[in-house]
Amino acid sequence: MNKNITIAGLGWLGQPLAASLIKKGYTVKGSVTDQAKTKTLKANGLEAFRIVLTEGGTVGATTRFLENTDVLAIMIPPGLRGNTGANYALKMAHFLHEIEASQIKKVILVSSTSVYDDSQGTVTEKDHPKPERNAAKQLFEVEQIFFNCPSFTTSIVRFGGLFGGSRNPTRFLAGRKGLNNGNAPVNMIHRDDCIGILQSIIAQDAFGHIFNAVTPQHPVKKEYYTKQAALLGLEPPEYNENAVEEQFKQVDSVHLSEILDYSFIHSLL
């Protein structure tokens, strides 16, 4: 039974996942990077550890954090936006060694659909990623070292664009003009479905798989965000109709239905 769940990264997704799992009877603990947050989370009934991944190694009480774990869910932001020069792959390689030294046998690694390049068009889990950008290459490298590690069995979850709660990309785009890629398909997923998919993997013991976690509907950006802006009472974004059309990817999933029989809570239409 997968009853003891450890979540590396109690952030925007990790905290509500933990709360949902606890309601379902699981024993849950997690990690943050700020010591002050551990006290707040403990006051709310969630055991938390300060664990920091660095290029020189993992900082914190890692052994205690990982002990007595049936399933480890890793959802630590890679911090690769803005070309910071961060070596996410090296940080995760250090963390992998810590996991290998523990007794953990089941891992969920949260990744991103950005491992697929736009030039690949429509893709499913059956398509091999061909990342071109440095950040995407690092994400895929981390996927590979975890998925192929013989010490434990990993399921990889590639989430599309995330929304839900306080996170709504429409608010960021509202009123902007001259935007490109208006005909690109939307590849997004609501936080409720993120939680539902992760819980389904745990409940069904579905390890050793790769899941593209994206809502099945793919409206084009200019139509979707215009509609969403209207629903929110915001000024709609304006897309450049004369922009040179680029290649766009559409991320679909066959494994969510074939392996998990998952039904989405939210639709994009």
Q: Is the predicted pLDDT of residue 216 greater than 70, yes or no? A: yes
Strands (E), 41-131: 47-50, 52-54, 57-59, 71-74, 106-112, 122-123
Confidence band for 245, pLDDT divided at 50, 70 and 90? low
Report the pLDDT value the prediction gives residue 83, as an integer from 0 to 100.
61
Taking the C-alpha atoms of residue 90 and residue 80, their distance in angstroms, rounded to an integer, is 13
Q: Which residues of 64-82 are buried (b: 16+ CB within 10 A; e: fewer)?
A: ebbeebbbbbbbbebebee
Each residue of 27-68: pLDDT tens digit? 999 999 999 999 999 988 899 999 999 999 999 999 999 999
Residue 261 half-sphere exposure, CB side, CA atoms within 13 Å? 2
Report the CATH architecture of 4-163+189-215+249-258. Answer: 3-Layer(aba) Sandwich (3.40)
Each residue of 67-91: pLDDT tens digit? 999 999 999 988 766 566 679 999 9
Each residue of 250-260: pLDDT tens digit? 999 999 999 99
Taking the model in full, what pTM does it have?
0.95
Report the pLDDT value the prediction gives residue 44, as an integer from 0 to 100.
85
Each residue of 111-123: pLDDT tens digit? 999 999 999 999 9
Report the pLDDT value the prediction gives residue 82, as an integer from 0 to 100.
56
3-state helix, strand, coil in the chain (%, to 5): 35, 20, 45
Taking the C-alpha atoms of residue 152 and residue 135, their distance in angstroms, rounded to an integer, is 25
**Neighbour count for residue 149 (Cβ, 10 Å):** 15
- Contact by Cβ (8 Å): 221, 181: yes
